[in-house]
Amino acid sequence: MSHPWTFPTLALALSRSIAAYFFLALARSIDEYFSIDGYFNALARSIDGYFFALAHSIAGPVLMLLYPLYRSAKTIEKSKKASAKKEVEKSKKDNEQWLVYWILYSFLTLLEMLLESLLEHIPIWYDVKLILTAWLVLPPFNGATVLYESYAHGPICRVLSRIPSLTPP
């Protein structure tokens, strides 16, 4: 027996509810515009918007720089104190995760500098970068290690093998 909520019916129901919400919000905002309560509500929304924008602008440096910096330093200190074989293996994985993160973050920053004139026309670029960085950084995903092992390891080893003084891992 198939479930009555297939993807097209869910999409249709969602689009109808979004449209209904939009028109209700539009009608409500017209009513609020002409009342004193509406003025204070608009003021409160603009203050909320200010704090949201502030949190949004702080989230990037915290997620992209401060948290990885903290975790990298913590990993270095843990690896100095690791004595048991299991601890050494865990610290080796953590070291790899954070070294790979800094390599990929540097590459992303360089790419962003090169494509700045193109990326400034994409309004959601900062949000996409924030989500990508969260995937790279957060421990449940270990995205940096996954991305490095899947795509970057082979090309980097080929480049390093061409340089006589460097040998690939």
Return the structure tokens found at 162.
Answer: 């061409």
First to last CA, the chain: 54
Within a domain: 28: no
Distances (CA, A) of 89 to 79, 85, 95: 9, 6, 10
- For residue 91, how many C-alpha atoms fall within 13 Å in the half-sphere facing its CB? 16
Give the Cα separation of 137 and 135 in Å (integer): 6
Within a domain: 125: yes
Give the Cα separation of 98 and 137 in Å (integer): 8
Within a domain: 146: yes
Give me the domain span that covers residue 113. Answer: 59-162
Dihedral sign from CA coordinates of 4, 9, 11, 15: negative
Q: How many CB atoms lie within 10 A of CB 54?
A: 10
Q: What is the per-residue pLDDT for 29?
A: 57
Total domains, the chain: 1
Q: What totals of helices (H) and strands (E) does the chain contain, helices first?
A: 8, 0
Within a domain: 81: yes
How does pLDDT run across 122-167, given as a tens digit for each residue? Answer: 888 888 888 888 898 888 888 888 888 888 888 888 887 887 775 5
Pair 158, 167: CB distance under 8 Å: no
Within a domain: 64: yes
pLDDT greater than 50 at residue 1: no
Pair 129, 108: CB distance under 8 Å: yes
Q: What is the per-residue pLDDT for 5?
A: 53
How does pLDDT run across 54-100, given as a tens digit for each residue? Answer: 777 788 888 888 889 888 888 888 888 877 778 888 888 888 889 99
Pair 125, 82: CB distance under 8 Å: no
Question: Would you state the torsion angle of the CA atoms of residues 74, 79, 80, 82, taken in this order, to the nearest 10 degrees?
Answer: 120
Give the Cα separation of 114 and 30 in Å (integer): 45
Q: Which of 132, 151, 111 is nearest to 64 (CA)?
A: 132
89 or 113, higher pLDDT = 113
Within a domain: 36: no
Within a domain: 11: no
Within a domain: 111: yes
